[in-house]
Amino acid sequence: MAEVTMTVNGKTVTKSVKGNTLMTEFLRDELRLTGTHVGCDTSQCGACNIHVDGKLVKACTMFAGEADGARIATIEGQADADGTLNAIQAAFQEYHGLQCGFCTPGMVMAAAALLKDNPKPSEAEVRHHLEGNICRCTGYHNIVRAILAASGQDVPAVAAE
Amino acid sequence: MYSFDFARPTSVADAVAALGQEDAQALSGGQTLIPTLKQRLASPSVLVSLSAIADLKGVSAEGGTLSIGAGTTHATVAAEAGAYPALAELAGQIGDPAVRNRGTIGGSIANNDPSACYPAAALGSGATIVTNSREIAADDYFQGMFTTALEEGEIITAVRFPIPEKAAYIKFQQPASRFALVGVYVSKGAGGVRVAVTGASNDGVFRWSEAEAALAGDFSAGAVEGLAAPSGADMISDLHGSGDYRAHLVKVLTKRAVAKANG
């Protein structure tokens, strides 16, 4: 066991963890932040996406020990404290960017990372950025539309292929 | 996963010392190693994370050489290796955005996956692999699938690329994994013409010497046209493509890479 200290959604946390504790396990089991989903657990699906020092990372493919001293953001920190959705979350709701919702936390975290670096992405850039996120319900069109809407751009009525 | 201890040294010397323990394993970005550990295909006693060693990070260009710290992520290389555009472009096409934020050049080159992109860039550029104890020419470094010249406990600290006059990488992407089904890296510089192929051979990355000879006198896609594709007999053959198909792709992608390098 080793002690790790990090800030998670602005709060400093210190915990003892085993060497093989993954970030998904640390967030879900130790901190009870279960919004970070475990889809494939093989770094393909992106449901576990979080931000580590502002960068998009798959939490299933990083050890808690590697996050010592890091600044972590998860889906739980995206809405305001009073539950008001942020622009991306609100756009996902408005544009029906989710069906079962399992992939949604990872999609929202991926979108947030994209819009931070590229505030007005093209549709192609949005699709390219979502390469590491799998959704089995929506066919992606409404997710792409939601992200374009969240960036303040016009949204095509039917997203182009 | 089996259980193991976790160490996170902050200097190369401390990391080398930690790796001296029995069954110790170095961890860089972990984008290959962590899935491997989950499948219980490895059981180290201690995992030595290299991610807190500041000396292993960064990109710098000086006097026609681009030097990249082994712990530099693909995303950082894509953003900061502008002095060598073909290499920056290659880095930006590895995996997906989240993978590029963790995976490192040193990790990729130490692992030497037969379908990885960086080995093609290193061999195709005539790069030098710098470790904690020596410098190894790429031609001597890659020794077969998942096999390199690294000794037990030896750590890559940097990779130095001579910046060629022209270079390009074309990868035929396996769409599920985004690894190269076949990838070809060509360069033309002070060291002559190099053509390095990844994803195709059971022996890992290799130089296609017939194409290099043909391109030495005439660096054009047409110079490759008359060549027979390399033999598919001992190439990787799996559900994604037969050995003959991969061999065919080697020639096609070499032509495209040369055309792209000539821009």
Complex ipTM value = 0.95
Number of domains in chain B: 3
Q: What is the pLDDT of residues B129-138, one digit of tens each?
A: 999 999 999 9
In Å, how far is B61's CA from the nearest CA of chain A?
A: 24
CB B200 within 8 A of CB B182: yes
Same domain, B170 and B140: no
A63 beta partners: A22
The arithmetic mean of pLDDT across residues B30-50, rounded, is 96
> Is B31 within 8 Å of A20 when comparing Cβ atoms?
no
All residues of chain B having their beta carbon less than 8 Å from the beta carbon of residue A2 are 6
In Å, how far is A63's CA from the nearest CA of chain B?
A: 9
Same domain, B63 and B29: no
The arithmetic mean of pLDDT across residues B124-133, rounded, is 98
Distances B197 to A78, A132, B254, B261 between C-alpha atoms, Å: 44, 25, 9, 16
Flag whether pLDDT at B23 surpasses 60: yes
The arithmetic mean of pLDDT across residues B184-212, rounded, is 97
Question: What ranges make up the beta strands (E) of A2-159?
Answer: 2-8, 11-17, 49-52, 55-58, 71-73
Q: Which residue in chain A has the smallest CA separation from B43?
A: A20
Percent of chain B, pLDDT > 70?
A: 100
pLDDT value of position A156: 78
Q: Domain ends where: B162, B180, B208?
A: B162
Distances A141 to A97, A145, A154, A161, B228 between C-alpha atoms, Å: 8, 6, 14, 9, 44
pLDDT value of position A157: 66
Domain that holds residue B237: 166-262
Report d(CA B12, CA B26) in Å as an integer.
11
Report d(CA B145, CA B147) in Å as an integer.
5
All residues of chain A having their beta carbon less than 8 Å from the beta carbon of residue B27 are 63, 66
Same domain, A103 and A72: no
Going by pLDDT thresholds of 50, 70 and 90, the confidence category of residue B178 is confident
pLDDT value of position A158: 59
The arithmetic mean of pLDDT across residues A106-133, rounded, is 97
Going by pLDDT thresholds of 50, 70 and 90, the confidence category of residue A6 is very high
All residues of chain A having their beta carbon less than 8 Å from the beta carbon of residue B47 are 19-20, 63
Report d(CA B79, CA A113) in Å as an integer.
15
What is the domain-level CATH number for residue B13? 3.30.43.10
Tell me which residue of B249, B109, B52, B247 sits closest to A66, measured CA to CA.
Answer: B52
Flag whether pLDDT at B86 surpasses 60: yes
Same domain, B152 and B195: no
Same domain, A65 and A91: no
Tell me which residue of B77, B82, B122 sits closest to B102, measured CA to CA.
Answer: B77
Alpha helix ranges (H) inside chain A: 23-25, 87-94, 104-117, 123-129, 141-150
Domain that holds residue A54: 2-77
